[in-house]
Amino acid sequence: MPTTIGHGMGFIMPIPLFVILLLLASGGVMKRWFAQKPHVSMLQEGLEHSQSVPTRLAAWQMWLHGAQPNINEVTGADLRLLPGIGRALATRILERRRQLGGFSDWRQVDAVRGVGPKMLAKLKQKFVLKI
């Protein structure tokens, strides 16, 4: 099976590059594929109606769009995205949140072992606290 196209026509192009160029040239299919951004429409819809953004969005996706996730809805993976938060601290934060039935004040987050003033400032910068 040949690995190039156009060998006898004065040019040589690797097949993967040819496939990419063919897809780009098709235009319509690619435009429709790139135009479908369900995560952006969900984010806009949630913000327009003053609701919390659906939890299907990861924290990094929300930050990418300028939104702040609710600390009462984030996962351990979301928390670990912040420098200084490892698996153990994320687990302690989530466990305390579960015990309280959700945080109602930032002081409750601050009371978690391992969360000091600097970490609390990072958390407040990246997350909101909604009951």
Backbone angles phi, psi at 5, to 5 degrees: -125, 145
What is the domain count for the chain? 2
Q: What is the mean pLDDT of residues 42-56?
A: 49
Q: Which residues are within 8 A (CB) of 109 and not within 5 positions of it... i.e. 6 or more apart?
A: 71, 93, 96, 103, 115, 120, 123, 129
Q: Is residue 7 part of a domain?
A: no
Distance, C-alpha 117 to centroid of its chain: 25
Q: Which residues form the domain of 38? A: 14-51
- Same-domain pairing of 61 and 121: yes
Rounded to two decimals, the pTM is: 0.57
* pLDDT 10s digits, 113-128: 999 999 999 999 999 9
